[in-house]
Each structure stands twice: as structure tokens, then as C-alpha cells.
Amino acid sequence: MSNRNRSQALAAVSEIRPAAPAAPSPIHFDEFGADVFAGETLREYLTPAVSKSLEATVKKGAPLDPAIANDVAAAMKSWALARGATHYTHWFLPLTGATAEKHDAFLETDGDHAITAFSGKNLVVGEPDASSFPSGGIRSTFEARGYTAWDPTSPAFIKRHGNGATLCIPTAFCAYTGEALDKKTPLLRSLQALSAATKRLVRCFGLSGDERVTVTLGPEQEYFLVDKHFYLLRPDLLQTGRTVFGAPPAKHQQLEDHYFGTIRARVLNFMTEVEHELWRLGIPAKTRHNEVAPAQFEIAPIFEELNLACDHNMLVMEVLRQAAERNGLVCLLHEKPFAGVNGSGKHNNWSVCYGKTNLLNPGSEPRENAIFLTVLTAIVRAIDSHADLLRAAVAGAGNDHRLGANEAPPAVISIYVGDQLADIISQIVKGVAGPSRKAGTMRIGVDTLPPLPRDATDRNRTSPFAFTGNKFEFRAPGSSQNCAGPNVVLNTIVAESFDYLAGELEKAAAAKKDFHETLQALLQKVIKKHQRILFNGDGYASGWLAEAAKRGLPNAPTTMDALKAYAKKENIALFERYGVFSSREMASRYDVASDEYHTRVRIEGEIALEIARTMVAPAARKEFLASKAAGSAPGAKAVQAYAAQVGKLLGALDRNANALEKALLGKHEGIIKAMKDLREVVDGLEKILPDAAWPLPKYREMLFVY
């Protein structure tokens, strides 16, 4: 008896021959942005007046002039038709966490002939039936109308497939009542809030506050690739994106030989295809490399404006998945596809600029430094005051296997600033100069601070929230998550903190107090109060959790613990005050996230039960009967012992499967516990049953054969 599926899969993969190195082919950089309706293309297709008006909306956040909608639509249509698009769609980001699109052809008829049509109204609003998207009770099916509204700050683009193309118009998705049903709307609102607060804060330092505020994001995206032959033989991967069973292979990541290793030819071909597609979409894919776990990789773009970067990250995930398919691979974006090796995250590199100045850049002159330290202090205050919200924003069934599961980063949110900044912060707290400065009292904004070499700041890779030279890197978001969620929180809590500090400075100014003394005292007070959130040590170290508890830092190891933050009165009030979420929208986020969590856990439990009963148990039973029969031969003691061992595990399998079946009628904690027990038995069987009889592709195959 043997499992032919697996051996056939192995044989099929062994036949795959990546192409040999080719002669140099044309470089694709000149295709950058070719499928995006922006920049040069706008000027080519629009009259100067219309193009100027549109650019003012995009660049300066001016309200969209409704009079230009028809002109823009007509231009977009001719451009899209010229680029081969037959359809258009409002492209949006519902609360499922995926993207959504419903295509309409440009086609109309005048009775006899086909004509093309696409009006300003088609561009500006859409009315998809909203009833089948999760809304957390905001929109019941009897009021199914939902609206998509054009977001001119994220340019339209063309998505291509084998024999056609579609014009995609990024939109926000709202209910009839105006409540947000998507991830983009609150993000745009939070950007407005942070922009206003930033302007207010810089005014305290004598700047005009009239320049544009931009928030930037560079999301590093991790993922796994498995050969499709194996994928199709794993119902768990197919249905949940992760393996619910699988014994650890002898070699996985112990030798640390995958990270930054030579990229295999097949994978490099895939990556190249991905990049060409992304460049055409105007997505500045920059970095590619092998990650820590076997079969794990990373792609990182050059940072862009936050709203655009979020849309682009959604497209990166889509292009990764589709290009993988074309290459006979499957791209796994789940946070933990394989137990025992690293999971996948999405490092969220974030910063705020006022005009051309990155406020997270230490800068060289006193005023810049003073603003930098004020911004830094404000962020420390924001993260310490609202760590629970940041944690909630990255909660999810997949991420539970990373955060709070002895993996990087931990579920406790803390900030890493590096030794030099820590030194400066402690000088502020003490109010005196430390060894790295000349003697004398430190007066921020008057004296020059020690220079901060940029690249010396980040040697720590375990902190959930790290200052990395000119940006903060939030490392907790999961690889599959939409970047919008954590950035909505980050923008809002930082806006609140900027406002707090600006308010204090304004009060002092009104009372004619000395600015520098006020600032010095304020930063000292705020840092003193919030410095417990600073932690420069190893986030994985066993002592850290106890230490964090002593400091009173919240630790929400699971999704349902974390989501409680959405229900807290003061948190709801915060988002309402900043116009980011209404209380109903907050409640809906909680409901949707909690429903999704429970549904995912249940699906995992059901697939585990099905695999255990219909694939593993039959193989084990057959083996048990065969070895039992063989054991009756004279002198076959070892065979008897083996049969007894298989029999014992078989009994346990039966019991644990029944327990899981029962648990599936109850709550998630019970399901998770029953799945864990079942996994132990199944993985135990995998280790002793004949290799050829094992019905599922093994870890060593999925992680190494591609």
C-alpha cells in the first residue's frame, strides 16, 4: 500500500526545469507607471485647466470640483480603451480584508451598434449591493444600498489578465447613511486628523503651518511559496491558508541558511515577473530576498504616501498570488502557514512629513531637533496611552500564532529607540547633559544635540515598535492584513498626542512663558510619565513578559483579548472626537473582527476533523490491521510492539477527533484546545507510519521541494 498522490506530486515537481539564464532582455523601468492614470498621462489626456484642478485635489487635498468629473471620465475612458481595457470597476476595500470589484463594460448600444460610454457619474459614484459584505450590523439587508465614492488621491490603474484588461478606480465604500463600510474611509479621515494636528504642532515652533503634511508608509511584505502539486494535496492549506497538521522535519531553519541566501532560479523568475507587473502599476518594488524560514521570502517597495501605499500593498498581495499560480506555485500570505518555523509579518514603516521635512529625521539645526524630540515624545506618549488599540488593530486568527505565541514580535507593545536616543531621552528626563554632550543644562532647541548617525539606530529585530533612523517600524501587523487598520490607529493616536503637546505649548505662549523652558519641562514631564513603554532589550527574552507586567503594560495574547480595546468607552470617544469612527462604526469593527475570528477558528477545526477522519485514520487503520496480522507470525515481537503503538495512537485519534467534533459545537477556546490535542496524535502517527503510506505532503516536501 502506498500513497500515489504524494509520489506523483514529487515526480511532477522534479520535472520542473527553470529556464536557463537568458540573454539580456529589455529593462522594464521605462514601463513604470504605464498602466496608471497619473503624472504625464493626465497632462496628455486632460486640458491644462482640468489637469491642474485634479492635481490640486490630489496634491493639496483641495475638494474635488464636480464640474471636472465628466472631463476626467472621458479622458480616463479614452486612455483605458487605448490601453486595451474593455471594462471598468470601482475597486474598494470592504471589511473582509480583501479587495472588491464588480466590472462593467464600457459597452453601450444605440440599437444597432456598439458604442462606448463612461460618464462623470460612473466615475464618481457606484452603487454596489452592499448586503453581502460584512458590516457589523451597520447595514441590514433591507437597506442594502452601499455607495462607492471615487478617491482621486489614489490614481486609477489598469489590471491586465490573459486576454483583456480592466480599468480600476480606487473608491471608498459607505452605507446609505454615510457610515464607512470599508478600510479606506477611516484611513482618509485619520490622515486628515493627523494633518491638522501636525500643522498645529509645528505652528508652536514658529512655522507657518501652511505646508502640506504627508504620512508615508513602506510596508515590507513576507510570504511563503509552495509548489502547487503539494498545495492541492493539503485540504488545510487549500481551505485555511495554513497547515493544521505536520510533524517538524529534521531540518527546518536551524542552520539559518535560508535568510538572504541565493534565490533559486524558479523563485527568481517568479519575482521578476511580479516586479515587472508591479512597475507597470506604478508600484516601486525595490527589495527582494529569502527570509528566515525555508520557502519564505520578502518583497519591499520604496515608501509612498500612506493611502496610496495601502492600496499598493493590496495589489502587491494580489500580484504575488496570481504570478505564483502562473509559475506553478502558490503564494501563502497567512501569518503562520507552518508550525515550528517563522511566521510572516508586514513591517509597517511609517513617518510624517511637514512640507519636505521628515519630522522623524533628527535634523541638524536646533529648531529641527526640537521638533524631532517633540514629535518623538508625542509618539512615545501615544503608544503608551493607546497600546491596546494598536494591538487590537493587528488582531486576527492568523496573527495569534505569531503575537503572543513565543514569536516575533511579542503581543506586548513596547518601543525601541536605540542606545543613542535612549541616552538623549534620559538626559531630557534628568534635565541635565549626559556624557555625550558638552557640560551645561540641556535646553532643547537652543543647544545642539549630539549628532545621530542614522544607521546606528536599529540593531534590534524583536521590538514591536522600533525607531529605525527616520521612521517608526511597527512589526506586529500580519502578512495577510490590510495596512489600513494599524495606520488608522497610529494616525489617530499620534494626532491626539500632537494636539495635547500643542495645547500645552499654546497655553504657555498665551501666558507669555519662555518657550524653551516650557518645552523642556513639558517633554520631561511627558517622558517621565510614559517611559515605561521604552524597552531596548530582547523582546523574546523570557523575563520581558514579567517585566512588562510589572510596568503595567497591557498584554493581550489572543484576538478576543485584544479586541476588547474597541469596546472601551475612552477609545470610542477618542475616535469620535477625531471624526475617524463613529461609535456605531467602532462597534461594527468589533463585530466584524470577532465574527471573522470565530468563523476562521471553526473552519480550521472542521478541516482538521475532516482530514483526521477521512485521510489520516484510514491510513492508520490499514497499517494497524496489516501490522497486527504480520505480528502473529512466530518471532515477530517487534512487529507486535509496533502494531500496539499504532493501535494506541489510533485509539487516541478516534477519541480526540470525537472531542473536536463536540468542541465544534461550543466556543473557540475549546476548538483550539481540541485541535491541539488532535494535532499531537496526528503528528505522532506521521512520525511512525511508513513514509509511503502517509496521505499528506510533509513539511520537508512543502518547505524544500520547489
Min. distance of Cβ 362 from ligand ADP in angstroms? 13
Residue nearest to Mg ion (CB): 347
Residue 604: contacted member of Mg ion, ligand ADP, none (CB under 5 to 8 Å, by partner type) = none
Q: Is 259 in the site for ligand ADP (CB under 6 A)?
A: no
Should residue 9 be labelled a site residue for ligand ADP when binding is judged by CB under 6 A? no
CB of 325 to ligand ADP, least distance (A): 26
Q: Among the candidate windows 67-75, 230-238, 344-352, 618-626, which touches ligand ADP by CB under 6 A?
A: 344-352
Pick 457 or 588: Cβ nearer Mg ion: 457
Note whether 471 and 481 are within 8 A (CB): no
Please state the closest distance from residue 149 (CB atom) to Mg ion, in A: 34
The yes or no reply on residue 183 touching ligand ADP (CB under 6 A) is no
Q: Quote the DSSP letter at residue 615.
A: I
Alpha-carbon distance of 133 to 47, in angstroms, equals: 39
Q: How far apart are CA 194 and CA 212, in angstroms?
A: 11
Smallest distance, Å, CB 291 to ligand ADP?
Answer: 11
Q: In this chain, which of 358, 399, 460, 497 binds ligand ADP, going by CB under 6 A?
A: 358
Pairing of strands 87-91, 164-175: parallel
Smaller CB separation from Mg ion, 62 or 302: 302
With CB atoms as reference, the residue minimizing the distance to ligand ADP is: 218
Q: Is the Cβ–Cβ distance between 172 and 92 less than 8 Å? A: yes
**Residue 288 belongs to what H/E stretch?**
strand 285-290
According to CB under 6 A, which one of 303, 515, 540, 704 is a site residue for ligand ADP? Answer: 303
| CA dist., res. 467 & res. 415, Å (int) | 8
Q: How many helices and strands, by DSSP H and E, does the chain display? A: 22, 18
For cell 519636505, the residue is: 356
Give the residue among 652, 646, 657 at the shortest CA–CA distance from 608: 657
Binding mask 472-511 for ligand ADP (x = CB under 6 A): -x--------------------------------------
Q: How far is the CB of 476 from Mg ion (least distance, A)?
A: 13
Looking at the Cβ atoms of 280 and 471, the one nearer to ligand ADP is 471
348 binds ligand ADP (CB under 6 A): no
Report in angstroms how near the CB of residue 302 gets to Mg ion at its nearest. Answer: 13
Q: In this structure, are residues 18 and 264 in contact, taking their beta carbons and an 8 Å threshold? A: yes
* Cell numbers found for residue 127: 452603487
471 binds, among ligand ADP, Mg ion, none (CB under 5 to 8 A by kind): ligand ADP
Cβ-based burial of 441 (10 A; exposed 0-12, middle 13-18, buried ≥19): exposed
248 backbone φψ class: left, alpha, beta (φ>0; ψ -120 to 50): beta
Cβ(399)–Cβ(478) under 8 Å?
A: yes
Residue range at the interface with ligand ADP (CB under 6 A); choices 71-79, 217-225, 559-567, 658-666: 217-225
Name which position in 35, 151, 182, 220 contacts ligand ADP (CB under 6 A): 220
Distance between CA 1 and CA 267 in Å, rounded?
Answer: 35
**Binding-site size, ligand ADP (CB under 6 A):** 16
Query: Which spans of this chain sit near Mg ion (rule: CB under 5 A)?
Result: 347
Listed ranges 156-164, 296-304, 418-426, 687-695: which one lies at the site for ligand ADP (CB under 6 A): 296-304
Under rule CB under 6 A, residue 300 binds ligand ADP: yes
Q: Can you tell me which of 217, 274, 281, 671 binds ligand ADP, judged by CB under 6 A?
A: 217
Give the residue, chosen from 171, 296, 351, 460, that forms a contact with ligand ADP under the rule CB under 6 A.
351
Query: What Cα–Cα distance (Å) separates residue 99 from each residue in 129, 153, 292, 399?
Result: 15, 17, 29, 20
Given Mg ion, ligand ADP, none, residue 492, with its beta carbon under 5 to 8 Å by kind, binds: none
* CA triple 91-343-306, angle to 5 deg: 35
Nearer of residues 465 and 694 to Mg ion, judged by Cβ:
465
Cβ of 11: how many Cβ atoms within 10 Å? 11
Helix, strand, or coil (residue 661): helix
- Is 470 one of the binding residues for ligand ADP (CB under 6 A)? yes
CB of 361 to ligand ADP, least distance (A): 8
Q: Which of 640, 636, 629, 623 is CA-nearest to residue 688?
A: 623
In angstroms, give the least distance from the CB of 304 to ligand ADP.
Answer: 8
Which of 6, 381, 402, 471 is the binder for ligand ADP (CB under 6 A)?
Answer: 471
| Least distance between ligand ADP and beta carbon 399 (Å) | 19
Query: Considering the complex, what minimum distance in angstroms separates the CB of residue 349 from ligand ADP?
Result: 3
Q: Alpha-carbon distance 396 to 333, whole Å?
A: 13
Q: Report what 470 binds from ligand ADP, Mg ion, none; CB cut-off 5-8 Å by kind.
A: ligand ADP
DSSP letters along 9-53, please? HHHHHHT--PPPPPSP---GGGGTTTTBS-THHHHHHS-HHHHHH
Choose, by CB under 6 A, the member of 49, 302, 625, 629 that binds ligand ADP. 302
In terms of CB distance, is 126 or 363 closer to ligand ADP?
A: 363
β-pairing, 465-467 vs 415-416, is parallel
Q: Single out the segment in contact with ligand ADP by CB under 6 A; choices: 11-19, 211-219, 428-436, 519-527.
A: 211-219
Residues 87-126 that bind ligand ADP (CB under 6 A): none
Q: Who contacts 298 (Cβ-Cβ below 8 Å, separation ≥6)?
A: 220, 221, 222, 223, 287, 288, 289, 291
Applying CB under 6 A, the span of 18-26, 347-355, 374-382, 679-687 interacting with ligand ADP comes to 347-355
Cβ-based neighbours of 97, under 8 Å, separated by 6 or more: 183, 480, 481, 482, 596
Alpha-carbon torsion 609, 614, 615, 616, what sign? positive
* Interacting residues with ligand ADP (CB under 6 A): 216-218, 220, 300-303, 349-351, 358, 468, 470-471, 473
